[in-house]
Structures are given as C-alpha cells and as structure tokens.
Amino acid sequence: MTDNQLQNFLEIATEAALAAGSVLQSFCGKLEKIQEKGRSGDLVTEADKASEAVILEILGRHVPDHAILAEESGKLGDASSKYLWAIDPLDGTTNYAHQYPFWAVSIGLLIDGIPQIGVIYDPFHNELFRAGKGLGATCNRKPIQVSQISELRTSLLVTGFAYDRRETADNNYAEFCHLTHLTQGVRRSGSASLDLAHLAMGRSDGYWERGLAPWDVAAGVVIVSEAGGQITAYDGSAFKMNSGRILATNGRIHAELSSALLAVPPLSSWK
C-alpha cells in the first residue's frame, strides 16, 4: 500500500466524517425519537441513522468494492475484501441525546485486518483528528503527539463503562476506584473515540476500557499510534480488535499502568 493510496483513503474518510458531522449538528437538540437497542442505556436516535446513511453513501460512491462494518447497519459489502471500514456514525449517543457536548463521528479503515486509516470528527468543538499509517497524526491539519508524562502518579487517565455493567461483575468499577487512588485522576467521558483522540493530543496520558466494538476504536488506535502512543491488551500483549478491551497510553506509563490494572483487587474485597 503506497502513501498516495493511503492518503486517498484518508481524504475519503475525511469527506464522510465531515458530512456526517454536519448531519449530527442539524439534529442536535431536535431529536424526536430516542430508542434503546435491547440493553439498558444503549441508545439509538434518528441522528445516528441519518449520519450513518451519509457515510455509507459516500463510501459507496468512492469505494463500492470495500467491506463495511457499521454500528447501526452491521456488515455490508464484499466480505472477502481486504478492506474493511469500521464506522461509528455517532459515538457518544447518550451524551448527544442529553445535549452533553462530547460526541463524535468515527471512521476507521482496516487493511488485511490492520487499522491503517483513522478519522474522528468532533463537530461541537470543530476538531478533526486524522491519521494514516506512516503519515502521522493531526488535529485540524496540525501535527499532534502524546504527552511526556512518565509516571503513573502524575498521570491523568480516562476510561468508560460498558452497557452491561449492571449485569456483570466484570464492569471496570474496581479498576476505576483503584486507579483514581494511584493517579491525579480518572475521567469518564462517554465517547471511546474521543478518549483516544484526546490521548493522542496529550490531553490525557492513558486510557483503558472493556466492552468495546471495533467501530469504537478502529480510528482511534491509528491516531494514537501515529501520535507516538502505544496500544496493547491489558497485559501488554498484542491488541486484538475483536477482544473488546484496549489499553492505550503515551508509551511512557504503559508498563506501569498495565501492571496496575492486573493488580486490581476484586471489588468484592473492597471495604
């Protein structure tokens, strides 16, 4: 894959993300129908669907032979294609439904199973995060890089909680409390893609979460990696897109954060 080809895919993803962001802005504060998708708190709105429709139209026009994995539409296109677009048309739907200003469009491209293009657009703050493998990472076309923080005790972390947190003990609560004690703080934003984008910007130093889908992180892992960060599984082994779990840091606190995650005592033992 040449840089020119990757750049072309990056421009396609950018076109789609900006168009979808415009759709989301037009619906913001004007929603008429908010539904749950089977799990409590897992929302979908007419804005999610309209945003996804715009993205699918643009991808269909530019790359009709590529496969797609979209949050609302599922798997589309040629399943044998080595190109797979992972799309979250509205990451942070609960925030969006409540008009809490932390939501985004996330579009990633995997080539032979490896994330190589990522675009995340935050329409509310007009921030466009982009990266291509070997092309670097930018915010609003200016280069970005991860932070220089080198110790867990001086770091700021971000995380999230899965929709099934009420039904499973594997819910991240113990990790949240434990790491709050070990760091300068842990934030919970409600948008995995923006958590990764802000890590790439150096606004936070580490991020971990479970219960994630490929469309939540496909774009963000490219942006973080190209900004100089590190992406693995919790234990430091290779990150797997379908595992549902991710550990992402500036690289400097990665080993320490991994060890801290693995050492968290069970919530049932907390007093």
Q: What is the DSSP letter of 184?
A: S
Average pLDDT over residues 133-151: 98
The H-assigned helical ranges of 28-113 are 46-62, 93-97
The residue whose two tokens read 């069970």 is: 266
Residue type, 145: Q
Residue type, 90: L
φ, ψ dihedrals at 161, nearest 5°: -125, 135
Structural Rg of the chain based on CA atoms: 18
Model confidence pLDDT, tens digit, residues 179-194: 999 999 999 999 999 9
- More confident of the two residues 268 and 150: 150
Asked whether the beta carbons of 221 and 196 are under 8 A apart, the reply is yes
pLDDT band at residue 109 under the 50/70/90 scheme? very high
**pTM of the predicted protein model:** 0.93
Residue type, 249: T
Ranking 12-21, 76-85, 168-177, 225-234 by mean pLDDT, the lowest is 168-177
Other CB atoms within a 10 A radius of the CB of residue 255 amount to: 14
Strand ranges across the sheet with 157-159: 186-188, 157-159, 206-209, 246-249, 230-232
The pLDDT of residue 208 is: 98
Average pLDDT over residues 256-268: 88
What's the token pair of residue 113?
A: 């199973």
- CA torsion, ordered 244, 249, 252, 258, to nearest 10 deg: -30
Nearest CA-CA partner of 253 in 131, 146, 136: 146
The H-assigned helical ranges of 65-171 are 93-97
Asked whether the beta carbons of 7 and 132 are under 8 A apart, the reply is yes
The pLDDT of residue 1 is: 77
Asked if pLDDT for residue 37 goes beyond 60, the answer is no
